Amino acid sequence: MTTEVGVRPHESTHVKGSDPGAGGRGGAHHSLVELTLARLREFVREPEALFWTFFFPIVLSIAMAIAFPSRGARSVRVGIEPGPASSELRDALAASKDIVVRDVAPADQLRALRNGDVHVIILGGSPPTYRFDPAREESRLARLVADEVLKRAGGRADPWKAREDEVEVPGSRYVDWLIPGIIGLSIMNNGIWSIGFMTVQARLRKLLKRLAASPMRKREFLMAPMIARLVFLGPEVSAPLVFGVLAFGMPIRGTIVNITAVVLVGALAFGALGLLMGSRARTFEAASGLMNLTTVPMWVLSGVFFSASNFPDAVQPVIQALPLTALVDGLRGVVLEGATLGSIWTELAILAAWTIVPFALALRFFKWR
Amino acid sequence: MQLAARCQNLQKRYGDVVAVDGLSLEVRSGECFGLLGPNGAGKTTTIEILEGLLAPDGGDVEVLGFRWNAHERELRQRLGIQLQETQFTDKLTVEETLRLFRSFYDRGKSIDELLALVELESKRRSWVVKLSGGQKQRLSIACALAGDPDLLFLDEPTTGLDPQSRRQLWDILARFRAAGGSVLMTTHYMDEAQVLCDRVAIVDHGRVIAEGTPKELIASLGAPKVVVHEGTLEDVFMLLTGRHLRDD
């Protein structure tokens, strides 16, 4: 670069001897490499960060798998009034292997229903009374199961009994659907929280100010944590996937290349969002607030634990435009259905937009002091 | 006369507080220039404006013949900057931290040379968090020297250090100057300014109230005021800035 300044007075007096052999970067790598290495080192030397990255998704998958077992039909829980008056009812219900009977005192009925301790409460009499919340799937199911058992005990004759062909289709069970969701969730959380917090910490320690005083390229400083995140994606994503395959026989129908592509774009998007969250915050509290504001709605809306189609049509365009929705849908597509990248291009495009726009905003509004 | 840095009629205010109020100074090539002043006098604001970290509200700044708005990148390559209160990443080693800073510069010393210069070879593989205050400060100086700068800015480089660490820093500075480097530093220690600085400016309320070599300033006290001991720069300082405390 040429300069228009005529006076460069110091040039002539520059006599200091730097070892010419040391030239270049004096044994250091390219600045982007050094910045990335610094982030990686900082990360692996922080044991808590490793836990959240690698074990949390597995722990969450195990917990969800226990809570929602996929093998065999789950029994329904029916509450009845304690005491000898209900003994006939109790015997009739207990005869079915699909029903677990629990005694619930009259005062506790509503609480037991609310907590899911029982799905329906049956009060004896002729005819009996079913007390349940029709808005809850499991309550409606319990009512149907109990109703059939009681009517049959009451002497109802079925015109015929269907032959039942029980199948279990790997890939369509809740746990199969859940694991890609949890991977998406962990990519989001690790990206936003680790990058956001490290940035705020560097600002609090006045390290950002010191770096801004050096000739470091600011763009490279912001790119480094995103690249560092990519390095850890391998273990971070494959741990829950391998766990899913070994523990649940989850099928992986897509190619490694396609899965990798989706995961990379997703990690970049959430890395950029993390930078944006941390771009101006001066305290951890302010940063946490922003990050919760960003992530918590997506925990709920993006279909990680239950399908996003439960939300009304009016908000669907918004939900579909969220980065976590795009990542989770894209992952489910490649992992469970073997989708090609061409068939999930909208998801990839949404994630690319969520990478470019937040990164540009972070670079523009970043506070170095 | 060749100048390493120059500012004229510098102005900076934070809301109602005037931090720098028409301050002018010149740092000559090859000299060590000291900015002295009580807390809140505007030293750090002045040095940060010269370092291109703060934009002045008014006045003119030229560093190594360049202006910040036109040649920031060239200037950054040729300046060494040590700030107050920088905390380097705890869990990086001395060598890793130096490598990081060295990688930002197009020219400069090797990592080994830098470690030798600040006598941190034995701490090469120690995490920053394990270093003593003096060692951390030497690391900070090494990072400032990584690009083999023409002009070094030091903001209270020895505050809070033990006497040995201070002397060690003085030695490092002497070596830097022997190689032709210029220095602009702030300090609270008058003995330090007397030993290190060719010229000093005493700053109060955002302007320069006295300027000259330490000898000249001491001589300006005049004989009658110095009766019990030989005059020091500290006498000059106390006379000019008063004895009341400046606890911000």
Place of tokens 């309550």: A139
Residues 6 or more apart in contact with residue A256 via CB below 8 angstroms: none
What's the rounded Cα separation, in Å, for the pair B26 and B6? 4
pLDDT at B189 (0 to 100): 87
Mean pLDDT, range A209-237, rounded to an integer = 92
- Of chain B, the percentage scoring pLDDT greater than 70 comes to 94
**Chain B: nearest CA to A367, how far in angstroms?**
12
Q: How far is CA A248 from CA A303, A329, B28, B219, in A?
A: 21, 21, 75, 88
**Domain tally for chain B?**
1
Contact B53/A213 with Cβ under 8 angstroms? yes
Interface contact B121, partner A, CB < 8 A = no
Q: Which residues pair with B203 in a beta bridge?
A: B208
Q: Please state the pTM of the whole predicted model.
A: 0.81
Q: How many CB pairs under 8 A join A and B?
A: 150
**Residue B247 domain-assigned (yes or no):** no
Helix axes A195-204, A284-301, angle to 10 degrees: 170
**Residue B62 domain-assigned (yes or no):** yes
**Residue B80 domain-assigned (yes or no):** yes
Residue from B19, B61, B59 nearest B37 by CA:
B19
**Residues B135-182: pLDDT tens digits?**
999 999 999 999 999 999 999 999 888 888 888 999 999 999 999 999
**Residue B246 domain-assigned (yes or no):** no
What's the rounded Cα separation, in Å, for the pair A330 and A261? 10
**Residues A334-364: pLDDT tens digits?**
999 889 999 999 999 999 999 999 999 999 9
Q: Residue B62 belongs to a domain with what CATH number?
A: 3.40.50.300
Pairwise CB contact (< 8 Å): B151 & A35: no
Does ipTM exceed 0.85? yes
Q: For residue B81, which residues of chain A lie inside 8 Å, CB to CB? A: 210, 213-214
**Chain B: nearest CA to A267, how far in angstroms?**
24
Interface test with A, best of B66, B76, B86, B103 (most A CBs within 10 A): B103
A287: left (phi over 0), alpha (psi -120 to 50) or beta: alpha
Q: For residue A13, which residues of chain B lie inside 8 Å, CB to CB? A: 2, 29-30, 180
Q: Which residues pair with B6 in a beta bridge?
A: B26, B62
- Map out the domains of chain A with their CATH numbers: 34-66+170-365 (no CATH), 76-153 (3.40.190.10)
Mean pLDDT, range A306-323, rounded to an integer = 92
Helix, strand, coil proportions of chain B in percent (round to 5)?
40, 25, 35
B60 vs A82, residue with greater confidence: B60
Q: Which two tokens stand for residue A39?
A: 């982030």
Report, in angstroms and rounded to the nearest whole number, the Rg of chain A calculated over CA atoms.
Answer: 29
Helices (H) and strands (E) counted in chain A, each on its own, are 15, 4
pLDDT at A249 (0 to 100): 84
Contact B86/B140 with Cβ under 8 angstroms? yes
Contact A187/A237 with Cβ under 8 angstroms? yes
Place of tokens 């207990």: A94
Alpha carbon of residue A77 to chain centroid: 30
Interface test with B, best of A2, A10, A31 (most B CBs within 10 A): A10
Domain that holds residue B141: 3-241
**Residue B52 domain-assigned (yes or no):** yes
What's the rounded Cα separation, in Å, for the pair B11 and B6? 14
